[in-house]
Chain A
């Protein structure tokens, strides 16, 4: 899972597989962080906000 783990090899299989994993995790992490930070800012600015079409 990490380059410092015993089984890690810098080959194509590891780079593609783990690349995909970390790519997905990064998107999820960044997305959540964005939502939380924006929610904090919105709350501080006392925005009304509606739920729109969902």
Chain B
């Protein structure tokens, strides 16, 4: 919060997900569970109280067979920049105890578990349902505790958690670069677990401000869009889909509006 006066971030790490490639296999979710010590319940049938930092949502075009089309939408935390890219993301601005923070050096929205007291205001503020509450104490079966990642602290009951773009990997990469007396990271030095796990390379990750990174170009793809762009949350997760109905599902439009024709303020900003 202290750097909020500087406004623009040095780096803006973001993701571009090609929905035409995504098969909905869920490898991104599995890798995220393992990488980030995400707890799970014995019975995971109720998705409304289960924890996942990235989830794959199944969408259809609501048409009957044989015109039915399906699209799988992987949804991590959108790492919103907020209105005017000032770090005024929906969740950070509302947290009463500064338990969630916008990092102006990376654009990543963090969650400080030991600071969170579980008021859940951030969950109410997030339209993407990216934030999850620990309704139970985390319990890992048998010896699984021994397999937990030492780089990510497990969370306790009563706090909110969410995707951090595997921030610990960024820290490790920064440490390595520091030892090698480098100031900048290579694009492949810092990649989240979900991106690495994707078998069809549907996810691309990098610095949205850096022309040398693939995401810089991809975000300007003619079929690129962001979820709920009209709310001016300014997400750093972009999607690409050649299907018009998928792009339309990504936001809300009045009956006489179409995604392509709409000149929203948010669109102009990205």
Which residues of A are in contact with B by a Cβ distance under 8 Å? Answer: 7, 9, 11
Contacts and interface: CB of A to CB of B under 8 A. Distances in A.
Chain B, interface residues (CB within 8 Å), range: under 10
Interface in B84-129: 98
A9 B1 CA distance: 9
Interface of B: 1-2, 5, 98
A interface secondary structure, majority:
loop
A31 B5 CA distance: 39
6 contacts: A7-B1, A7-B2, A7-B98, A9-B1, A9-B2, A11-B5
B214 to A, nearest CB: 37
A49 B5 CA distance: 58
Contacts of B1: 7, 9
Contacts of B5: 11
A2 to B, nearest CB: 14
Nearest to A6: B98
A7 B2 CA distance: 7
A42 B76 CA distance: 68
B228 to A, nearest CB: 28
A14 to B, nearest CB: 11
Contacts of B98: 7
Contacts of B2: 7, 9
Contacts of A11: 5
B115 to A, nearest CB: 10
